[in-house]
Structure 1
Amino acid sequence: MTEPTLSEAEYDAITDAAAHWCMRLHASDCTDAERRAFKQWHDADPLHAFEYEAMLEIWATADHLPRVEPPATLASPAPRPRSRWSRLAVAAAVLAVGLPLAAFTGWHLGWVANSYEHFEAGANVRHITLSDGSQVELNLGSELVFANYKHERRVTLEKGEAFFDVSHDKQHPFVVRAGQGQVRVTGTRFNVWMYQDQVRVTLVEGSVWVTSNQALASTGSQLTPGMQASYKAGDYQPQVRDIGADDSSLAWRNGKLVLDNLALSEALPLINRYLARPVMLADNSTGSLRIGGIYSLNEVQNLVPSLPKVLPVYLTQNKDGNPVLNAIGQRPAPH
């Protein structure tokens, strides 16, 4: 049986992921959750293991760091010719000239970042300045990583929400990866919201290119101010719509969560983003009930117990301990 042939973009996406994990596993603030996520990625495909091993060779030699071995050893697939040749070239340069050239070569090949930053926001909105001068507002409970490569500036939104005011640099694009897609710009102002595999991009100024699949960066949608793109895992193209002047997507910057007569099925992802235990719906009938109101971000956790006071619902709990909303008149679904 013939193995599927990956496109160059798909290979590049795997190499980028290997570089990201190499940096994260060597970072002092690498969490247990990240290590578990790495193991899942590493074990998902032999090519992942191969690219990570190749990246370790460059990383460990360039910065003289101890090797961080993967949790399990997998058989390496046959390498792609260009990738293997490039890595051998780097190895030869290291042997011939030494460690400084390895880092220099890795930077010029676009494999190694010369700047790497990790930011988190806890119970308050956090304002940060990236090393390229771009300004970012991080919403509560949000986390991102910034890496500066030769050919692009790259942000990975690990969770939550962020508003970006990007420093203009036409020759050095700014890419935000969120979920399975990404946003590409040179200088603009926009918001990225993410919950589980759902992502929503809202453009305030300039223009951005949004794709729902990082491996298919050429397929996507161009946004202009006043437009919003949404996607989730598996979407071939993002869904794009115009938003009005009264859109509440950026209300979080003023410490508010605005629910504008939304169905519970639409409102819960916005609410759950702030909760330790997400609220579940008993059935589609419950999800069709509508809710509105303006809530303080620091008090969203108090919203769930109050829902039976404003909606015809009652609360139960599933076997995992999550609260479940049930419409009155509906039998609780088995959990």
Structure 2
Amino acid sequence: MTDSPFSQADYDAITDAAAHWCMRLHASDCTAQERQAFEQWRDAHPLHAFEYEAMLEIWEVAEDLPRLETVVPITRAKPATPWRTFGIAAAVCALALPLAAYSGWNLGLLPNSYQHFEASNTTRQVTLSDGSQVELNLGTELTFSNYKDQRRVTLDKGEAFFSVSHDTTHPFIVKAADGRIRVTGTKFNVWMYEDQVRVNLIEGSVLVSSNDDLPGDGLRLGPSMQARYKHGDFTPQISQTYANDTSLAWRHGKLVLDDLALSEALPLINRYLENPVMVADNSTGAIRLGGIYNIKELHNLVATLPRVLPVYLTRNKDGNPVLNSIPQQTPKS
């Protein structure tokens, strides 16, 4: 019985290769032949692609480091070979990175902890490095970076429920679409689909801004309040939630639609679908839908809608299903 097809040396070699390709692809003199060679290396094994993506995330975080303005001239006796150049670069990085990391941390530019999480076909509960707990819904992806002056989450897609470890001196900020949610310690849920975001506060308080570029910290939510925003909103829309609110039913594997218009229901459904469902016009979007659905089986819902609603299905040019209302016959007089 074999435990793994790779030895530790193999893993180290793949990591080194991923670092090399990350450096070369970001170099201004990277050639088309090199890019083709990289693609062949990346596609040779899934682990190659995985290690490169991990290295790319680290590279992107490091982009926040300040650039040195002083240039020190170096006189070389003879041209360095590519491998010698790479060796020098690796040696310099080995000496400079600890100092850069320390300086970046003190300046609030580089995190001392970085985590990436995904949930595809099942919900997932994770613990962040600060002790906060996060529950991820299906199809959710987020990253966490711990900086000196703040804790930062980027919700790339999906939905997550946060139980944030309390720290008044170290605020917890969630970036979702154009806006942000700022807290110090609380429990809240963030749902995102395309540029639409909905924030539900369970306990504590949060500040919600619809645009991260606007001044100020945004509008304050108290328990049992909800904020919604989308691209272009100057401020979030605030509303009260009630004891029978079903926004968090996903934590029990359910999506509850309480007699919603299709224009409101479809974003909640489409969040789980590979091919989103469209409506043909406003009259179709006004048709109402209710029911309780298993979030893992929502892909089966689309085909059943014509059986329960006065609609029929077509496809648009992109292959997405489109709901069309069936014209109501006018009774003859």
Residue 148 of structure 2: aligned partner: 150
The SS at the match of 2:53 is coil
Measured on the aligned residues, the alpha-carbon RMSD in Å equals 2.7
Structure 1 segments of 4+ aligned residues over 2 angstroms from their partners:
25-31, 52-58, 97-101
Letter in 2 for 1:257: L
- Corresponding residue for residue 16 of structure 1: none
Judge conservation of contact 1:200–1:231 (CA < 8 Å) in 2. yes
- Asked whether the 8 Å contact 1:219–1:237 carries over to 2, the reply is no
Residue in 1 that maps onto 2:51 = 28
Contact 2:64 2:109 in 1 (8 A): no
Query: What is residue 286 of structure 1 aligned with on the other side?
Result: 284
Secondary structure at the aligned position of 2:255 is classed as strand
Deviation at 1:262, TM superposition (A): 0.3
Deviation at 1:216, TM superposition (A): 1.6
2:181 alignment counterpart: 183
SS state at 1:235 partner: coil
**1:102, distance to aligned residue in structure 2 (A):** 1.8
CA distance in 2, matches of 1:220, 1:103: 32
Match of 2:249 among 220, 234, 251: 251
1:275 alignment partner in structure 2: 273
Q: Could you say which structure has the larger radius of gyration?
A: 2
Indicate which of 323, 326, 330 corresponds to 1:325.
Answer: 323
Paired residues of 2:65 and 2:110 also in contact (CA < 8 A): no
Aligned partner letter, 1:245: A
- Tell me, yes or no, if the aligned pair for 2:64 and 2:110 is still in contact at 8 Å: no
Quote the residue 2:295 is aligned against: 297
Structure 2 length normalisation: TM-score?
0.72
Cα distance in 2 for partners of 1:228, 1:212 equals 13
Whether the 8 Å CA contact 1:211–1:217 is kept in 2: the answer is no
Residues 1:29 and 1:201: Cα distance change in structure 2 (over 3 Å): farther
How far 1:164 moved relative to its partner? 0.1
Pick from 129, 132, 135: which aligns with 1:134?
132
Identity %: 63
Selected match of 1:170 from 158, 168, 171: 168
**One-letter code of the match for 2:200?**
T
Give the letter for the 2:172 counterpart: F
2:296 corresponds to which letter in structure 1?
N
Question: Could you state the TM-score of these two structures normalised by the residue count of structure 1?
Answer: 0.71
Find the aligned partners of 1:114 and 1:171 in 2 and give their Cα distance. 17
Q: Does 1:212 align with 2:235?
A: no
In 1, the alpha carbon distance for the partners of 2:215 and 2:53 equals 28
Give secondary structure in 2 for the equivalent of 1:303: helix
CA contact (8 A) 1:258 1:292 kept: yes
CA distance in 2, matches of 1:210, 1:144: 18
Give 1:292 deviation, angstroms. 0.2
Separation in 2, partners of 1:104, 1:238 = 38
1:124 to 116, 122, 125: 122
Task: Kindly tell me the number of residue pairs found equivalent between the two proteins.
Answer: 255
| CA deviation after TM superposition for structure 1 residue 54, in Å | 7.1
1:238 is aligned, of 236, 239, 244, to: 236
Counterpart contact for 2:278–2:323, Cα < 8 Å = yes
Query: What amino acid does structure 2 have at the position aligned with 1:115?
Result: S
Given residue 276 of structure 2, which amino acid in structure 1 is its aligned partner?
Answer: P
C-alpha change, 1:290 and 1:149, in structure 2 (3 Å) is same
Q: Distance in 2 between matches of 1:223 and 1:251?
A: 21
8 Å CA contact retained: 1:126, 1:139: yes
Q: Distance in 1 between matches of 2:108 and 2:50?
A: 20
Q: Return the match for 2:312 from 276, 292, 314.
A: 314
Q: CA deviation at 1:174?
A: 0.3
Equivalent of residue 113 in structure 2, options 112, 115, 130: 115
